[in-house]
Amino acid sequence: MAAVQLNEAQFWQSIAILIRNYHALNKKIFEVLITEVQKLQLGKLYESNEAELEQQLLQSNGNARTYEGFRISYKMLTKKLSSNILANGIVDFSKQSYECHFVADSEFDDFVVQLIDGQLKAEPLAKHPGEECEQAARWAHFVLKPKLCSWAQSRSDKNVQKSLRLLDVEMYCELYKKLKQKHAQRLLQYWQTANESTDPLKFIYEDLAIAAYLITLWDCTQSQPTAFADLGCGNGLLVHVLNAEGYEGYGYDVRRRKLWSLYPEPTSSHLIEQTVEPNSFQLNHPDIDWLIGNHSDELSPWLPVLAARLKTSFFLLPCCPFELSGAKFQRRNTSISAYQDFLLYAHQLSDLCGFETQQDRLKIPSTKRLSLIGLKQTAKPVQELEFLVQQELQKHRAGSMDNSVKLREKAESVRNCTQVEKSIIDSLVLKIFNMLLSNAKTTNGNDAGNKWLPGQQLTMRDIAQGLTKPELTGIKSECGGIKTLLRNKHEVFEFCGDDRIGIRKPKAAAEKTGKLLTIKKRPCFFKLHHPQGCPLEDGECSFIH
């Protein structure tokens, strides 16, 4: 990599980030816990803390530092290894260096990072004289050094929210490993038996992590539920894991899923096919004192409201943003992302409901991992709460007095072009194809001769402007829009990056599969519609000529 010039402040900023985030460089580590900090002054070690360590590392004036360095003790929580890893870090301000030493029998390599004449140097430290460190040297050069250079030049933001800040992280890590070992294989078998189309690894590990989070949260806050209700429980996986771990609970969803019948008792009998209509919903079981909203879509903004009405605590992990009315969320603050805007809206609703709302970041395989938690509710008259809800419902209804909530239908509509009349799809595909072919000679030069014309590339916006309003409305409502239509015709169109679409040049069957296809079922689109026909011979093409 090209040499990057760093100043002393940038170097120590990168070390401050490294001390907290070694797990970002080693996928076997889940989290780093600092167990002890000692400051070095006049050759002696004295007790210190993380705040003092960070303050000294990020001191803008190096001459103002009052200590010679620090000694840091770590416990590194592992993802799969049976035991955690112990390590020590040594910060030396005079040498402008940081060393990390793991316990003697650790599989991880010791290393040192130094700033020498404005250049960052990272290299392994041999644990034994004469020991070869070739693999460790590659890691230091190609992983550690680039990451440190990136951190050194990043904007230091102390307001970045830490993950799992409401929990005992070590307790959570151990429980998550235990749940994976105990449940993952059996849950994968359920998925295969049910022939589910969704990705089992994403759902299984995500819901196991959420279950570990909830159990640890309940233990750390001494708020174990008598019983819980997961509203919009989907496949019921989270309900099953929590039930199996000894927590009684129920799942409500508008549609029954194939997996439900495969779960053992009590889960299978605790999954209830029922529409959760917020204005009329009542719990079937009086012992429920926790509500869970795990990617609960239209119900997400209602979780704090229902929890306030039913006098329960709640956990909300929102995903798709919706209003209380059930309509798509309307942005309030365009200076932040749509996700952050909706999260702020849900947080404000929770506050209006009288909860002391807390926010935490989960460690799950999802881009949406910020959660809202309502443990304690201040006294708030029911009449005042309902007034606030009705006021919010009316805000976006243009004077209508209809306060019903728009929820999804029990039967899930199919929006992937399969329900649209074939002649309509064919005419739209041909129209877009001709748009891409128009002015092809101009685009490719008049001397194209006998070369097969690939046409031009157009943006999605260009294509949309070339279609009529009824055509756009029809494909949006019935098949999810232009992108879905084009993806389903991947043998004709290709996505070229930067939201541009082009014509996919046919490739010989042997090039695609390594052997000729023997069964041809559909006519060749290019043979029928391209002005120069298909560029392939009959024996090469995957379609009928």
The interaxial angle of helices 338-352 and 303-310, nearest 10 deg, is: 10
Q: What digits encode the pLDDT tens for the residues 204-216?
A: 999 999 999 999 9
Full 3-state SS string of 169-230:
HHHHHHHHHHHHHHHHHHHHHHHHHHCCCCCHHHHHHHHHHHHHHHHHHHHHCCCCCCEEEE
In the chain, the domains with their CATH numbers are 8-152 (3.30.530), 169-395 (3.40.50.150), 422-505 (no CATH)
For position 442, what pLDDT does the model report?
46
Coil, strand or helix at 44:
strand
| Neighbouring C-beta atoms of residue 106, cutoff 10 Å | 15
Class of residue 401 by CB neighbours under 10 A (exposed 0-12, middle 13-18, buried 19+): exposed
Q: What digits encode the pLDDT tens for the residues 235-278?
A: 999 999 999 999 999 999 999 999 999 999 889 999 999 989 88
For position 284, what pLDDT does the model report?
83
Phi, psi of 360 (to 5 degrees): -145, 155
> 179 and 211 in contact (C-beta within 8 Å)?
yes
Query: Per the confidence metrics, is the pTM higher than 0.85?
Result: no
For position 478, what pLDDT does the model report?
57
Kindly tell me if the per-residue pLDDT of 398 is higher than 80: no
Q: What digits encode the pLDDT tens for the residues 475-532?
A: 765 555 788 888 889 899 998 887 889 999 998 876 544 444 446 678 999 999 999 9
- Relative to beta strand 493-495, strand 110-116 is unpaired
Distances (CA, A) of 411 to 56, 408, 414: 60, 8, 9
Return d(Cα 68, Cα 91) in angstroms, integer. Answer: 8
Q: By C-alpha distance, which of 262, 275, 224, 268 is closest to 250? A: 268
In sequence order, what are the residues at sequence separation of 6 or more whose Cβ sits closer than 8 angstroms to the Cβ of residue 279? 403, 404, 405
The encoded tokens of residue 309 equal: 């009405």
For position 425, what pLDDT does the model report?
86
Range with the lowest mean pLDDT among 107-111, 128-132, 163-167, 228-232?
128-132
Average pLDDT over residues 86-104: 94
For position 415, what pLDDT does the model report?
47
Average pLDDT over residues 110-129: 89
Greater model confidence, 228 or 155: 228
Q: What digits encode the pLDDT tens for the residues 6-61?
A: 999 999 999 999 999 999 999 999 999 999 999 999 889 999 999 999 999 998 78
What percentage of the chain has pLDDT greater than the value 90? 55
